[in-house]
Structure 1
């Protein structure tokens, strides 16, 4: 993990993300690319194609001044931080920046749930998660540390989640974290017997790892929703992080019907990391 992207909107939650990224950067000798998305209208941007419109230049200079002040933090000392200001209008384009700089991780702040309103849904954080080809770490609190020793990886053990599982295994191994896989068994038409689940898991590891060594790290839980099963299991095992595979633009896998990935990120007090399938 050598390059970390942190979208910044000057909010408290984006600073939570920046602090978490700083801790990760120090642990991994990584660089941080702090990204501010300046939303400018097409009229301002295209009025004078041959030069920057004066109004656009004003807002860019204003954002640059505010950005430099925001990045003047003690916890960023001794870390190489590159500020980037883009006049994108959609946060889905964060992935373009990540690909351009060959980044390994995006760290994003999120409000999560506030009363009955789920701010993550339809938010900038969700757009980043759905469009990112690299892992996205979603944080909602000021993390004391980023020593993710125990990770709960939600998995339905379908073949299309193998790539996400392998990417997560590789990353968490480098971080020195122990990954536990959890399958949530649901009632009614989605219920599976223990034998059916075990056959599915055996097929999964046979194709993913070509061995069954990780069978001992698999846990089956029963609950009324996948979200509750993941959260309850994570709390019971004392996890430091929840990891969730996602299809991105195509929606979530069959196991995560109903945008469970977003629900988990909304309701979890733990940080959540997503992996593209």
Structure 2
């Protein structure tokens, strides 16, 4: 029996892997007639190393994230997804993607790219994807392949 997903979360960070995950999430949402929640998490740990905390830097990061999310939103709508939303959250990507956001939005499928970090970063802080697949309470689709249904051109 096939699972009919109703609330799909796709986590994006600007990487090629995240873009692939987005395309696959759109195709799944379209097939299921599901709501698509596009999520970007600004990792606040990156601001802890800045000696003189600059609010202009936070504003710039926020503006860049909003611009990117608007583009994803438009692409999803153009592909025929009627119920699509985006969120920009601040904090720990691991806990927000795996637990907080899915609980708040009744998510039944999380779609993520296989990696978003380089090999050294994965060794030091661990993979967000690995954490999500180990700890989330719903189904996870980890996108590794480049084959994408042509959902965005319909």
Q: TM-score, normalised by structure 1?
A: 0.43
Is 2:141 aligned against 1:137? Answer: yes
Aligned position for 1:161: none
CA distance 1:90–1:66, shift in 2 (3 Å) = closer
Q: Are 2:115 and 2:127, in contact at CA under 8 Å, matched by a contact in 1?
A: no
Cα shift at 1:119 = 8.9
Distance 1:136 1:123, change over 3 A: same
Relative to structure 1, the CA distance from residue 74 to residue 64 in structure 2 (aligned partners, 3 Å threshold; closer, same or farther) is closer
- Among 64, 67, 70, the alignment partner of 2:66 is 64
Q: Secondary structure at the match of 2:138?
A: coil
For structure 2, list consecutive stretches of 5 or more residues without a partner in the other structure: 150-154
Aligned to 1:19: 23
Q: Which residue of 2 aligns with 1:107?
A: 111
Quick check: which has more Rg, 1 or 2?
Answer: 1
CA contact (8 A) 1:110 1:120 kept: no
User: Residue deviations 1:178-230, cap 9 Å, x none?
Assistant: xxxxxxxxxxxxxxxxxxxxxxxxxxxxxxxxxxxxxxxxxxxxxxxxxxxxx
TM-score, length-scaled by structure 2:
0.72
Structure 1's consecutive aligned runs of 4 or more residues displaced over 4 angstroms after TM superposition are 117-121
Looking at structure 2, the residues matched to 132 and 74 of structure 1 have their Cα atoms a distance apart, in angstroms, of 25
C-alpha RMSD of matched pairs (Å): 3.1
Question: Which digits, 9 at most, give the CA deviation of each residue in 1:37-72, with x for residues without a partner?
Answer: 11233599xx8xxxxx55433321221012223444
**1:120 CA drift (Å):** 7.4
SS of the aligned residue for 2:61 comes to: helix
For 1:100-179, list aligned pairs within 5 A.
100-111=104-115, 122-145=126-149
Alpha-carbon contact 1:120-1:126 (below 8 Å) kept: no
1:91: which partner in 2? Answer: 94
Report Cα offsets for 1:212-268 as digits up to 9, x if no partner: xxxxxxxxxxxxxxxxxxxxxxxxxxxxxxxxxxxxxxxxxxxxxxxxxxxxxxxxx
Alignment partner of 1:137: what SS?
strand
1:26–1:144 Cα change, 3 Å:
same
Higher relative contact order (CA 8 A, sep 6+): 2
Change (3 A) 1:91 1:104: same
CA deviation profile, 1:69-95 (whole Å, cap 9, x unmatched): 344427853212211101123323212
Q: How many residues align?
A: 135
CA contact (8 A) 1:3 1:104 kept: yes
How far residue 11 of structure 1 moved from its aligned partner, in angstroms, is: 1.2
